[in-house]
Amino acid sequence: MILIVDDNPAIGEALSLLLELNDYKVRFVECPDTALEMLSQESIQLVIQDMNFKADTTSGGEGQQLFYDIRAQQPDLPIILMTAWANLSMAVELVKAGAADYISKPWDDSKLLITIRNLLEMSELREENTQLHAQQDSELSVKGEVDDQLSTANLCGAIVESPLMRRLMDMAIQVAPTDVPVLITGPNGSGKEKIAEVVQANSRRSDKPFVKVNVGALSADLIEAELFGAEKGAYTGADKVRIGRFETADGGTLFLDEMGNLSLEGQQKLLRVLQSGEYERVGSSQTRKVDVRVITATNEDLPAAIKRGDFREDLYYRLNVIELKSPPLSERPEDIIPLLNHFISLAGAVDRSIAQTAKQALKQYAWPGNVRELSNKVQRALLLQQSSELQLEDFDLQADGNLSVSAVDLSIEDIQRALDEHGGVVSRAARHLGISRQALYRRLSKSESS
């Protein structure tokens, strides 16, 4: 919205028509008091003001006063001064005080429109910059609070360099002291079990049993016996009493992984335990009671499973009091190199390092198998390559087709330097660059043909 302040209605109408034809919204008032009142009531982005508002007045004093009143009310508002009576000394004074421009009447339409457009664009950029700084200040404040909380928490060795993981772990630590059920969702290999460990380690049950069950690895016939136990003779091969995982976890926490694979009958019994803390062993009518916090994890789309009739809706809402979403590794590239170093350290290979070109490519790899794939690739590289510096090809990623960094990113100078350093031996130069010999040959071929 542009505000025009001029005591001449003809001037106001001409300016309004010009601006409206160029898609600007306009307000026109004839006196300073009305202008100041409107500024306090409406969102104005720019002011075009006259310098004289009384008949036979040419000093510009009234316009000068209005200018300072507007600046006091809105210091950053762009103001264009316009007058038929040029006063050079006053123009210099007001421009120094922050006036955007000083234009004589009659004005040039094209120049005025250019001035207005530039001022509005600058004003918009200034506002965006202010908002960005405010957002950054807010994020820094939150980051400081998160850093403080994470620094005193037990992260169980989790790597949390990325903002995404830091927020996730902060939330995990906040819900840990409560006893509410937690559902951890995310793709395979993304670290759902590690998140469960962090919740347990920072809970009031941290010194009590933490029992893990991979529900997906159990057959439908064994799941109930595994969870709730079984009496001797309850089924073929049950030659003694079997203590279930709920009973083992009494007083502590039970982590059920791959929850989406639990049978409907098992879901019904689990729901009962969550509701009442009561259950029976397979083959027994004796009701037992436990105090267990349940944390579950799944890579399944449980709402979709509910629609298919494969998962109970009432159990889902019982489990999903708090949901922690474990992101895929591709969404948190800041964690990739720290994770690589972490797995190298766990393997006791502290004397091994990764070539810089390999690091760049590994950070851009899609990692479809997430953290689990990264761990496996590190183990493979350490076992099969005995040199002190691991190269990209040692991780066996080319066949996956997900690398965005290739030999094309290397300059001919880089390749020539590597060849010179290794006596022209292509295989050694390729290893130094972190690419395959075939990739190096392709890059050389392209350079010769170009």
pLDDT tens, residue by residue, 76-89: 889 888 877 656 67
Tell me, what CATH number does 185's domain have?
3.40.50.300
Whether residues 88 and 10 share a domain: the answer is yes
Distances (CA, A) of 115 to 86, 121, 133, 417: 19, 10, 27, 54
421, 433 contact by CB (below 8 A)? no
In a domain, 136, yes or no: no
Tell me, what CATH number does 338's domain have?
1.10.8.60
Domain of residue 92, residue span: 2-124
Distances (CA, A) of 41 to 37, 38, 44, 70: 7, 5, 9, 13
Whether residues 116 and 168 share a domain: the answer is no
pTM above 0.75, yes or no: no
Domain boundary among 286, 302, 327: 327
Tell me, what CATH number does 31's domain have?
3.40.50.2300
Whether residues 342 and 444 share a domain: the answer is yes
Which residues contact residue 373 at a Cβ distance below 8 angstroms, ignoring those fewer than 6 apart? 189, 329, 367
Whether residues 198 and 309 share a domain: the answer is yes
Give the whole-angstrom CA distance, residue 438 versus residue 425: 13
In a domain, 201, yes or no: yes
- The closest of 434, 381, 374, 377 to 409, measured between CA atoms, is 434
Give the whole-angstrom CA distance, residue 262 versus residue 216: 7
In a domain, 144, yes or no: no
Whether residues 314 and 398 share a domain: the answer is no
Whether residues 200 and 98 share a domain: the answer is no
Rg (CA), the chain: 35
Whether residues 316 and 345 share a domain: the answer is no
Domain boundary among 276, 302, 327: 327
pLDDT of amino acid 48: 92
DSSP 8-state code for residue 230: B
Domain boundary among 327, 356, 380: 327
Q: What does the pLDDT look like over 394-435, one tens digit per residue?
A: 888 754 444 434 444 566 777 777 787 777 777 777 766 666
In a domain, 443, yes or no: yes
In a domain, 131, yes or no: no
pLDDT of amino acid 401: 42
pLDDT of amino acid 245: 94
Whether residues 188 and 238 share a domain: the answer is yes
In a domain, 141, yes or no: no
Q: Which residues of the chain have pLDDT under 50?
A: 399-408
Give the whole-angstrom CA distance, residue 231 versus residue 130: 69
In a domain, 150, yes or no: no
Whether residues 53 and 187 share a domain: the answer is no
pLDDT of amino acid 434: 62
28, 16 contact by CB (below 8 A)? yes
**Which backbone phi and psi does 58 adopt, to 5 degrees?**
-130, 5
Whether residues 228 and 306 share a domain: the answer is yes
Whether residues 364 and 421 share a domain: the answer is yes
Total domains, the chain: 3
pLDDT of amino acid 439: 66
In a domain, 106, yes or no: yes
Whether residues 347 and 296 share a domain: the answer is no
